Each structure stands twice: as C-alpha cells, then as structure tokens.
Structure 1
Amino acid sequence: MILSQWLLPPLFTGIFFALGIVLGFQMLINAFGPSDSVSEWRFERLTGARYAVSVLYFGAFSFIFEYASYQTNNDFAFLNFKLLLLSYVLVFLGKRTAAIIVAICGASFIVLRGFSWEALQYIGLILVVYLLASILITFLQKKRWLLLTWSISIDVLTTLFWFFSKMIGFGTFVEISDKQVWEYVLGFIVTNACLSIGLHQIVKQNDHMMMITQQATIDTTTGLPNHEVFLQEYHQIMKQKVQNPPMTLIALDIDQFKHINDVYGHLVGNKALDAVGKTMINLVDTNTSVRGYRVGGEEFEFIVKKMDDAKVRKLASVLKQRIADTVVIDGDNNLNITISIGIATRTIDDSETDLYERADRMLYISKGRGRNQITTDRDE
C-alpha cells in the first residue's frame, strides 16, 4: 500500500476492507439479537457469548494480519490495519479486549517467526501503543469528547509510531524511506477518517433502531417489557420441554388501583405503576432467572426459570414487602400501595392458556382473601 507504487487501488481497497470488518462485526453481533447497542464510546453490556465472539472475531483478524506480514516478510505490511484494529477495539470493546488483542498479536509474531530480540521489540512497540492509547481514551472519556477527537488523536499517535519505528530501525523498517513512511501515514489518516465516518453512521442508525425497538417493546410508564414482548417470550418458553425445576408464572396487580385513580388522579396512578415497575426491574437486575413485564393496566407478570418452589415463594414475598414499603408522594399526601400475587408452576400437561389462567386464578384468590396476599397453585 505505497502510493508511489500504486496510488488509488490499495487505498480504496484498504478503506473498504476496514469498513467491511466493522460491518461484519455488526452483523455478527446482531445475529444474537438487538439487545446490545453501540454507544458513542462502546458496545453496551457486551457479555457472555457476544463478548466471546467479539474476542474470537478480532483475534482472528489479528492473527490474519500477522500471518500476512510473515508471508510477505514485511514488518510494516498491514501495520495500519493492526493499529486501526487495536484503536477501535479499545474504543468500543474496552481495555480488557484490546489487551487480549495485543497478546494475540505478540503470540502470533512469536509462533510465526520464533522468539527473538525482534519479537521483543515488536511486542514492546505494540504495548507502548496500547498503553498510550489507553491513557488517551481514559482522558477523552472523562472529558466527554467525541469520537472525532479520538480519531484525530490516534492519527497523531500513529504518525509518531511510524517515525519512531523507522528511527530505531525495527525489522524491515530500515528498508523504507521517509517519503514512504509519510505515504503510509497518509494512508492511515484517510482510512481512519473514512472508518470514523462509517462508525458515526452506524452509531446513528443503531440509536435510531434502538429507539424504535424500545417504543415497540418497552412500556414507557414502568420501563418494563410490554404485553407483546411477554406473549412472544412466554410462547417461546412454553414451546420448550419442561425443565427441572419447571418454569413458574407469577401474576400480580396493584390492589384497588381504580380507587387510586378515582381519588388521587391518573398522575398518582402512574406514580404507583412506576414504583412497581422500578421494584420489579431491581429484582430482575439481581436475578438472571427472572423476567418481568407489564401486561396491561395495573397487571404485571414474572416469568421465572430454574427456581424451585421455595425460592419462587421467597421472591414473591420480597416483591410484596418492597411494594408495601413504597410510599407514593402526592403533595401533602403519602400513599401506600400493595399488590396481590398469584403463582402457578408449569406441569407437563400444561398448555400456554392453562398455565396463564391458573396463575390468574391464583391472583384472584389472593384478592378474594383480602388483598396483599400470595397464593400458589401448590397450596390449592
């Protein structure tokens, strides 16, 4: 990719190749579902399988670039791609992932070329770039500066890297002239600019898609998934075989909610809904086996997986108590709210309707017993 040898094709190829890597990653992550979104600085909550796939994806490209350099016996071949890869992994996937990529680069160099002083030099250079870039990104994030600032900063850092590598005579860097170094630097700057623009557009599109998804799936009053999401996820779980312990459905609603709306007004009613929603979200955030939904009006549902009867009962008791301890403030009035709960555990013969109706029936038994009660189908 030297301009004096072949001006346009390598530069354009490099730009499209870099954009292709990013778009390929975006498609790969989206294959796991739309729950993760790209923010200005990182992929949010990229964990589990998504994180493992991310490391494998960029780790594979790191090895490919090292192998290509080894095959051409050219230490500076694909160097711009390596630096871009490291830079944007650091931005969007964090320091830990970038450190893994650095380790893969170093290990690949040693495996392909053997352990030598040159290998130590190379690993040292990459580590210096990683450390400087990490310090830089920490500073920029604290200042809340934009991705454009990072792009310009990494241009400066890369320019210094190229000329420092040339100055110390690392590997085959001794074979290139200052003019060629400037050509490589220019190639990096142009590719980086195009990549930054492309990433900016991806961020905007993801934000837009996330907003549309939230509007379609999240109840705005409580912040919980809505009835449509509940039906889809409930249907998917009921298609699966009965687990041990089996799935449990918890139905609940706010006691005397119509009275609250009639006496205190709908704004206070919304505050009560919001209080229940926040309490449910807090419980869900601390327990991956639980998923909560607002299914309509003052009615809510929990889908609970891999939890025995005693733990389900304890979960319901904790929820009921936390709601009872909640105070909804309306001017000079402090309003206490309570909930009634019905619990149904899936059996091997249950259809979707059977389980749902049984949980609903347990809920209304709780209401009939004076409200602020818990009733399970194991008790009846």
Structure 2
Amino acid sequence: MTETTWLVQPLFTGIFMVLGLLLFYQTLGKTVARLTQHNAIKINFRKGPLFVYSVAYWTLISGYVQYRIGLTNNALGFLNFGILILFYVLLYLRIRGLAWVAIGTMVAQILFLNGTQMRIDNAISTVIMCAILVGMTVLVNRSRTGLKMLIVAVDILDVCTWGVLLFVKLPGVSTVTPHMLWDNWFAFIVMNAALIYTQTRLNDDNTYIWNVATRATVDALTQIPNFGTFRNELQKDYDQYYDTDDVLTMITLDVDHFKSFNDQYGHLAGNQILRSVGRFLNDVVSPFPGAVACRVGGEEFNLLLPDVTLDQATRIAKGMQARMAEQVIHYNEHRMSITISLGVAQLSHQDEQATDFYQRADELLYQAKAQGRN
C-alpha cells in the first residue's frame, strides 16, 4: 500500500511517529550502552557516550524537521512536533543537552529554511521556546508538584503558542483559524499523553531490569560483583588470554581472624568490615581497564587483572596489604584494624581449565594464611 492510499488521520500518524522515535531512541541507546559501557547495567543517557549519542539523535530528528519545513514552506505543520522534541530533550538530557540540540536546530534552520527573515524568525522562536521550557521546568521543580503538573504546563504552553498565532500574523506563516487551534491543541495533548505514558513505562521497565540484574550480579553487602559474576569473568578472561602472549593475573585475599571480630563486636561490625574492604578493592582495580574485584565467599575476595604482569600484581598485593593494615574501620564507638592475607598467580599454559587457575591462586592464599597471616 502506498502512502497516497493510507486512510489514516494525521493525529494517528503523528502519535505513532513520535512513539516510534522514542522507542527507537531507547532501543538504539541500549545498543550504544552495551558497546561503550561493557559490564555496566544501569543506562544513563545524561553522561558519557550515551549523552553524545542522545544529542546527535535528537539533533538529527530536529534537523530533519527543519528540512521538511524548508521543502513544504509550512512551519505550522511541524510546530507541535518541534515543541515535543525540545520538551523531551529537556526531560532526558537536562539543560545542557537542550542547549546542544537547540544549537543544532538553529544550524539546520540556516541550512534548510528559505529566506533570511524566515531563518531569523525560526531561530528566535527556538531560543524563546527553549527559555520558556527551562523556566517552566525550574518553577515546577521548585513547587514540587511533580511531572504531571509539568505535562499540563507544556499543554498550556502549546495552546498559548497557537493562540498567539491566531491573533498575531507573522511574516511567512499561514493564517491560523480557531478550528486549527483546537485541532492542533487536541493533537498535542494526545501525543504528549501517549509519549509520557510510554516514557514512564520504559523507565519503569529499565529500572526493574536493572534491579533484577543487580541482585543477580552484585553482592548486596559489599556492592561489588558476586561469585557468579566472578565465575563468568574468569571464564571469559581465561578463554581470551589462554594460549596467548598476553598476561592475566589473579589476586586472592582473605580477612585475617574475621570470626574473632564477629565474636567480639557482633556480626554488624563484621558487615562493616566487609563493606570497607569492598570499597577499598573498588579503588584498587579502578585504574586498570578490564580489572574486576569480586566477593567470592564470606570474607574472601578475588581480583582479576588483565594485562597486568606477575611482578606488577605482586607489587599491587603488597601495597594492598600495607594500606589495609593502616586503615581504621569505625563501627559505633569501636575502632577496628584488620590485616589481609593474599595469594598472587599468573595464568599458565598448565592451567587446562579456568578453575585450575583459580585453584592455584587460592592455594597460594592459604599458604600465606598457614605461614602466619598478614
């Protein structure tokens, strides 16, 4: 069926178009996140590569709108769509993202619109619309009336915009009739409601997936990856590094006399120790790309260090041992000091399975504990 034979009202095509753009934005964004954030679970469109992707995506959409306006010479036909783009860019990307998209929109207006005056008028309109949207958002946030009030405010903004065009004739803009005003306002309300409902459901689904994935992969107490994640990472690294010239090292560690802390100060004090160790290990692995620190047992932890030599890993382990012995862990009125024992191993051709590598590092840890700990 060709476009000329579609028997669909513009309202319905508009709804499905904006919903399609929103769904494609989130779907493509998840692909970008997988390629750039690697093991990250939570998706944040407001920073890093996802922010760049978001600005590029909405700038291209807005630029295409300006291109269509230039072809049809009909700015009113895309007015609602332009307001929705700017509003949802502000919701997703805050003021910084809106500023970049607005700049891209004005560049497209210079490139695609006909006549100098039309370009200037549309650029000024874009700036004014962005300023009004930001002002409304700030006021609603300060009043703490929530997203529903912001949606209502944007609906009012749309009818006010059409109302101005009803009474004020602008150069190069078609005459607005009351019938056009009500038709376009109704269409805007429906599209805005459909968008906010879809966005809310998508965000809820993303949050649910993130919570489920977090519970499955992250240790709830220490907030570092759990044994299941370690097992998967170990197998992945083993497959990648075994039988190559690249190096993979592992540091296993255990909190010395951990049971005595539980017996003396209580299990909540022991939990505080484990949380402190988790934060400490996160700091240790953060400078090393691809490195991961995991809790693999009660008071046992493991570090996988891709592209770190055995000598480097040994120095890291000795530094960890010294730094941990100097730390003071506070719990209520108690001041606790702990030591750790460590084992360090490098992947070898003799490790026929990933578990062989793990077992060898674990045996070195228990040798350290058998020789007096710390």
Paired residue type of 1:197: Y
CA distance in 1 between counterparts of 2:313 and 2:279 reads: 19
Matches within 5 A, 1:315-354: 315-317=316-318, 319-329=320-330, 332-346=333-347, 351-354=353-356
Report Cα offsets for 1:91-135 as digits up to 9, x if no partner.
112223222222222222222235612112111111122223223
Paired residue type of 1:47: G
Equivalent residue number for residue 185 of structure 1: 185
Q: Which moved more, 1:101-110 or 1:325-334?
A: 325-334
CA shift for structure 1 position 145: 4.4
Equivalent residue number for residue 259 of structure 1: 260
Equivalent residue number for residue 227 of structure 1: 227
Paired residue type of 1:370: G
Report Cα offsets for 1:153-198 as digits up to 9, x if no partner.
2223333333445655445433332431332122112211221122
The alignment status of 1:60 with 2:60, answered yes or no, reads: yes
Q: Which moved more, 1:148-157 or 1:219-228?
A: 148-157
Matches within 5 A, 1:115-126: 116-126=116-126
Paired residue type of 2:372: G
Equivalent residue number for residue 296 of structure 1: 297
Report Cα offsets for 1:310-352 as digits up to 9, x if no partner.
7655654554444334434455543211222223344577552
Q: Secondary structure at the match of 1:152?
A: helix
Give the root-mean-square deviation of aligned CA atoms. Answer: 3.2
Q: Secondary structure at the match of 1:225?
A: coil
Equivalent residue number for residue 3 of structure 1: none
Equivalent residue number for residue 369 of structure 2: 367
CA distance in 2 between counterparts of 1:117 and 1:246 reads: 64
Equivalent residue number for residue 174 of structure 2: 174
CA shift for structure 1 position 77: 2.0
Q: Secondary structure at the match of 2:254?
A: strand
* 8 Å Cα contact 2:66-2:113 kept in structure 1: no
Structure 1 unaligned residues grouped into runs of 5+:
1-5, 373-380
TM-score (norm 1): 0.81
* CA shift in 2, pair 1:331/1:116, >3 Å: closer
Q: Which moved more, 1:132-141 or 1:57-66?
A: 132-141
Number of aligned positions between the proteins: 362
Q: Which moved more, 1:355-364 or 1:333-342?
A: 355-364
Report Cα offsets for 1:292-318 as digits up to 9, x if no partner.
211121111223345566765565455
CA distance in 2 between counterparts of 1:177 and 1:159 reads: 13
Report Cα offsets for 1:240-273 as digits up to 9, x if no partner.
3578873432222211223333444333222211
Q: Secondary structure at the match of 1:107?
A: helix
Matches within 5 A, 1:306-317: 306-307=307-308, 312=313, 315-317=316-318
* 8 Å Cα contact 2:162-2:181 kept in structure 1: yes
* 8 Å Cα contact 1:218-1:226 kept in structure 2: yes
TM-score (norm 2): 0.83
* 8 Å Cα contact 2:288-2:305 kept in structure 1: no
Paired residue type of 2:25: F
CA distance in 1 between counterparts of 2:308 and 2:76 reads: 56
Report Cα offsets for 1:37-84 as digits up to 9, x if no partner.
47xxxx466422x33332333233222222222332211222222221
Structure 2 unaligned residues grouped into runs of 5+:
1-5
CA distance in 2 between counterparts of 1:139 and 1:245 reads: 56
Paired residue type of 1:16: F
* CA shift in 2, pair 1:106/1:115, >3 Å: farther
Equivalent residue number for residue 100 of structure 1: 100
Equivalent residue number for residue 3 of structure 2: none
* 8 Å Cα contact 1:268-1:330 kept in structure 2: yes
